[in-house]
Structure 1
Amino acid sequence: MNGEDMIKKAYEAILHHDFEQAIGWFEQAILLEPDHPGYHYKLSISYARSDRINQALQHARQAVELDSSHPEYHQHLQHVKARALVADAEELLSQSAEHATEAIRLLNEAIDADPLCSKAYLWKGAVYAAMQQYEMARQQYEEAVRMDPSSKKALEMIKHIQRELEKESNE
């Protein structure tokens, strides 16, 4: 089998919702043709869908390094970078609220990398809410809704923040 045959097998696995098997086929294609940027790109997408962000980031970078002429490779790399930065911010916040400033910096980097990253806005809203900066929190949640109008969490948090702002104005 050659690399293209393995890619076909990977797509068959995806059609059967066997994403781990698909990853295995993509990895085998890369073993045969390590300098094929499209294989790295496809593997990166599968890793990202499986929430294996570090591996996704590695292969997204590899695809861009091997062939920087494809805008979709760059766009995917930025998207994966944003997801990695959000994960780093989540990890910091799980350790201690003292890391709020650093978490916001990481979340801003995520938004710079991928302005459509609604999860970064949600987390920024949560950080500002925890800091009782309700107006800033509301702005972040509203931006999250702009990026993802179906975000029940962001809509719920806007209502919560609105109640907090009303409490403040009544005090």
Structure 2
Amino acid sequence: MLELINAARRRKRPPTHDLFDVVSLEFRVGLLDIDLNLQLSTGKYVKIMDRCRLEHAVVTGLLHRTVTARASTVVANTEIAYIRELRPYQRFDVHTRLLGWDDKYSYYDQRFESQRKLHTHALHRLAHLYGGKPISPPAFQEMTGLNRASPPLPEYVEDWKTLLQNKRRLTERDVDSERY
């Protein structure tokens, strides 16, 4: 909650980063952040990723533009690869980057690194809303006054999109046949 209040207070400051810049934050694993295996818990990863995307929105000016336009953004999908554990008191950095968008979603890449080694990698697909209803990223761009072209999405994002489309078709087929 304090993070949201702090972000709301800072959102009107001039941007310090470009929309596609990598924004990095430093953290340290605390004793209240660990699970039974004495490593950073999966729930804490998600909370940290939310915090870092919020910081990205603040320092790029995206949060101010979104609030002014009365729009919002929600996570539609997340894919996380846990490569190495993060142990108690270990310092790590989280690097957050907006990769671009297609006709329906925006895509973020987040990397947890410690001592120049990748520990966790996450991809996020975000949907934009206005009045509680989905809007396209180009409509969101127009509403917020950004009007930027998206760089081409990396191949690994295109592969992920294909996987999500296949999962959706499989889920729809299972629901149609009432199989679980």
| TM-score strictly above 0.5 | no
For normalisation by structure 2, the TM-score amounts to: 0.27
Q: Which has the higher contact order (CA 8 A, sep 6+)?
A: 2
- Structure exhibiting the larger radius of gyration computed from Cα positions: 1
Q: Which has the higher strand share?
A: 2
Task: Select the structure that is richer in helix.
Answer: 1
